[in-house]
Amino acid sequence: MSDSTWDWPTWTWSADGESTRIRELRGELSRVRGSLAQARLRSDLASVAGPLEHRVDRLSAAFDAFVELSGVREELSVFDEEAEVRHQARMLFAGRPRVDAVRDVGQYWLPPALRAVLAVVVGEDTAAHLASAAERDHTRATLFHVLTAAIVGRGDTITTGMIAETLPKLTPSLPLSVWAVWTLAADGHYGVVGKQLAQRRAMDYLSRLPQPDRQAAVAGWRETIPPDPNTAFALPKELVGGDRHAEVAGWPPVGETSPGAGGAGAAAAGVGGAAAGSAAAGGARLESVGAMPSGGEARSGAVAEKSDRRNGDAGVATSGEVFGGDGQGAASADGGRQGGAAEGLAGVARADVAGPGGDVAVGELADAGELLAVGLACDRLAALRRWVGDGLVPSTGYDELDPAVKRTLEALVDEGSAQERDLLRRERELRQVIEGTGGPAACWSDPAGDPAALLRAAAVRRPNRRGLIIRACAKDIAAAAEALADEGRKRLPEVVAVRTRRGQVAVTATGPVPGAIEAAVARACAVDPIPRRLAVGLAVLGVVLVALAFLLGWTWMVPAVAALAGAVAYQRKDSRIRELAELDSAATRDILRADTRRAVSAFASALADLEGRRSQVPDDLATVRALLA
């Protein structure tokens, strides 16, 4: 039997096994496709079923609420007289002073209270009506009369005792009704006595604030008054986008360590050692590849010099670019690059001791946001000065009624009598479920908010009560002015990080930080070291295999030749990469110089603008102090 006779069954079995495996793979692929299709279908059904289920639940809840609401209204039908009185009160608030005779309803406090308001409007005596209403519900009757008398323009009829009762000391959980009375008193509806009481209540509350809340109030005043948008400091677009926390070319300066740089600043001896080691390594790599044309040696030496500087410590990366004080590094010409890695890195070691060109920028690295913060503080202080001066000018007339007054009166009237109060509350809740508005029903005793925040908002939006609030919050406003002045007097940064088209660069008002441009070029035009390492490794392997061929036989020459051929190929690839990097570095350097030139000009202009604004800070602060004294 020939060999082919034995091979044929083996080949057939192998082919059959491959076919079986292919069928299994196809089956698995079909199952995966089916499971994916089912998953997509389930996802689509879930996305459709979710909203549908939500709508069904909402409709079901609305239907249940509608059924319950019918029963609640059936129970409320016996309180038709109370509902009629509430309707008459709403007519009065809607601007219809002619109201039919108000009938008394059991122990409901609203009818006599409403008759007292009507008596105030026509100038009749209100004592009997008020006494009757107070006997039924003193708190609600007094609050209703205090609010409605101010609304109808007869706040002068409200006694000091009634004002003090409805305007107690302010608390962090300030009730809506108290804030409503405070706004009316601050607007002058109750005369000078009401204004004085409102101011005392605000001052007393602010004086009792704990230190954290007091600091929050001061911080709130710092942000309350915006600067004039027409004259506010605008950050030049050339400085926008810089981030000092990211990698910035040229920073930290030579011999310094930046936080988080991982020991960027190297000592002079350490840098010198790194220079020697890098130079030796560069020479060894070139020698291991073999002879190259002189031009290629010069270019490779210069690129190796830059690569060694990039791959060293951060201190070497920034300082190794400085071969002069102009921040351009050794980029004058190709001939100037042929000094080799040893001379370049030796210059780094010298610069590390003496400083690059003797002109290292002083101060910490900043970004444009710090310039903007100083300018904003100066502008806010100037705006605060104008706002305080204008606010303390006496004003006449009343502001529009605060929404808190309307909400308080509506809640006070709509809650009904004691017998129907729970039913009316439930009716409002059910209506909200049906209408889908949600939220709890409003109550006149609900919290209105933080009093300090309410005062700041009222001072901005309500000119008529601005002077009273300024006097009540004088200490906090003065502290905010001091804080703004401190912010505006901060030392302006001397070095900022600016974003260019080729990365971030550290610049001063006179130019880029020495070495910054070359550091940015080195980072932007970094060369992949893998081809050179492979070339060196293959060359070493080829030499070893040649030696083995001489010792053990010529069969080792084949892999030796292959290794040497690979080394030559990778060396050529590395040379092409580095030549392209050299060409790209020239264009990158031109781009960086143009971008940094514009950034330096913008930085100098911004500093001059800020100095002018900072010169006004002492006068603005003194004026605010005098106005608030």
Helix H or strand E segment including 186: helix 176-186
Strand pairing category for 447-449 and 174-175: antiparallel
Kindly state whether residue 284 falls inside one of the protein's structural domains: yes
Q: What is the DSSP string of 493-548?
A: PSEEEEEETTEEEEE-SSSBPTTHHHHHHHHHTPPPSHHHHHHHHHHHHHHHHHHH
Q: Which residue has the higher pLDDT, 312 or 485?
A: 485
Of 44, 78, 112, the residue at which a domain comes to its end is 78
| Residue 534 clears pLDDT 80, i.e. is over it | yes
pLDDT at 533: 86
| Residue 10 clears pLDDT 50, i.e. is over it | no
Q: Say if CB 512 and CB 600 are below 8 A apart.
A: yes
pLDDT at 393: 85
| Cβ neighbours for 532, distance < 8 A, ≥ 6 positions apart | 285, 570, 571, 574
- Name the nearest CA neighbour of 219 among 469, 453, 470, 491: 453
Residues 28 and 109 in one domain: no
Averaged pLDDT for residues 478-485: 95
Residues 85 and 56 in one domain: no
| Cβ neighbours for 321, distance < 8 A, ≥ 6 positions apart | 309, 329, 330, 515, 516, 517, 518, 519, 521, 522
Axis crossing angle, helix 176-186 with helix 138-151, rounded to the nearest 10: 30
Q: Collapsing DSSP states into helix, strand and coil, what is residue 167?
A: coil
- Name the nearest CA neighbour of 405 among 62, 596, 176, 113: 176
504 falls in which pLDDT band (50, 70, 90)?
confident
Residues 164 and 104 in one domain: yes
Between CA 145 and CA 116 the distance in angstroms is: 8
For the four alpha carbons of 409, 410, 416 and 418, in that order, the dihedral sign comes to negative
Kindly state whether residue 394 falls inside one of the protein's structural domains: no
Q: Say if CB 164 and CB 140 are below 8 A apart.
A: no
pLDDT at 301: 36
Residues 354 and 500 in one domain: yes
Both tokens of 201, joined, read: 């209540």
Q: Which residue has the higher pLDDT, 434 or 87?
A: 87
Kindly state whether residue 453 falls inside one of the protein's structural domains: no
Averaged pLDDT for residues 429-438: 75
143-147, 444-448, 502-506: segment of lowest average pLDDT: 502-506
Kindly state whether residue 223 falls inside one of the protein's structural domains: no
pLDDT at 250: 56
Domain containing residue 431: 80-208+407-435
Highest-confidence segment of 2-16, 92-106, 272-286: 92-106
Please give the torsion angle defined by the CA atoms of residues 282, 287, 290 and 295, in that order, rounded to the nearest 10 degrees. Answer: 50
Averaged pLDDT for residues 209-234: 91
Kindly state whether residue 457 falls inside one of the protein's structural domains: no
pLDDT at 619: 95
| Residue 24 clears pLDDT 60, i.e. is over it | yes
Longest dimension (CA), the chain: 136
Residues 71 and 84 in one domain: no
Q: Which residue has the higher pLDDT, 617 or 421?
A: 617
326-335, 422-431, 558-567: segment of lowest average pLDDT: 326-335
Between CA 598 and CA 297 the distance in angstroms is: 37
68-82, 173-187, 292-306, 520-534: segment of lowest average pLDDT: 292-306
247-293 pLDDT, tens digit each: 666 566 544 444 333 333 333 333 233 333 333 333 333 233 233 33
pLDDT at 73: 79
Amino acid at 205: Y
Between CA 588 and CA 1 the distance in angstroms is: 75
Residues 110 and 199 in one domain: yes
Residues 168 and 111 in one domain: yes
Q: Say if CB 218 and CB 227 are below 8 A apart.
A: no
Angle at 117 between CA 115 and CA 122, to 5 degrees: 95
Averaged pLDDT for residues 159-168: 94
Residues 417 and 562 in one domain: no
- β-bridge partners, 504: 499
| Residue 474 clears pLDDT 50, i.e. is over it | yes
Kindly state whether residue 379 falls inside one of the protein's structural domains: no
Averaged pLDDT for residues 526-554: 84
Between CA 151 and CA 89 the distance in angstroms is: 13
- β-bridge partners, 449: 174
- Count structural domains, the chain: 3
> What order do you get walking across the sheet with 495-500 strand by strand?
365-367, 495-500, 503-507
Kindly state whether residue 64 falls inside one of the protein's structural domains: yes
Kindly state whether residue 341 falls inside one of the protein's structural domains: yes
Averaged pLDDT for residues 516-539: 83
Angle at 49 between CA 46 and CA 55, to 5 degrees: 145
The fraction of the chain above a pLDDT of 90, given in percent, is 28
Residues 292 and 349 in one domain: yes
pLDDT at 438: 60
Average pLDDT, the chain: 75
Highest-confidence segment of 62-71, 167-176, 346-355, 488-497: 167-176
Residues 97 and 200 in one domain: yes
CA neighbours within 13 Å on the CB side: how many for 57?
6
456-472 pLDDT, tens digit each: 999 988 888 899 999 99
Both tokens of 594, joined, read: 């143009």
Residues 552 and 608 in one domain: yes
Of 49, 78, 107, the residue at which a domain comes to its end is 78
- β-bridge partners, 500: 503
Averaged pLDDT for residues 368-394: 91
pLDDT at 454: 94
Could you count the other beta carbons within 10 Å of the beta carbon of residue 281?
13
Residues 498 and 359 in one domain: yes
| Residue 21 clears pLDDT 90, i.e. is over it | no
pLDDT at 439: 58
- β-bridge partners, 506: 497
Axis crossing angle, helix 557-614 with helix 516-524, rounded to the nearest 10: 140
Of 78, 95, 120, the residue at which a domain comes to its end is 78
| Cβ neighbours for 361, distance < 8 A, ≥ 6 positions apart | 253, 494, 495, 506, 508, 513
Highest-confidence segment of 18-22, 131-135, 528-532: 131-135
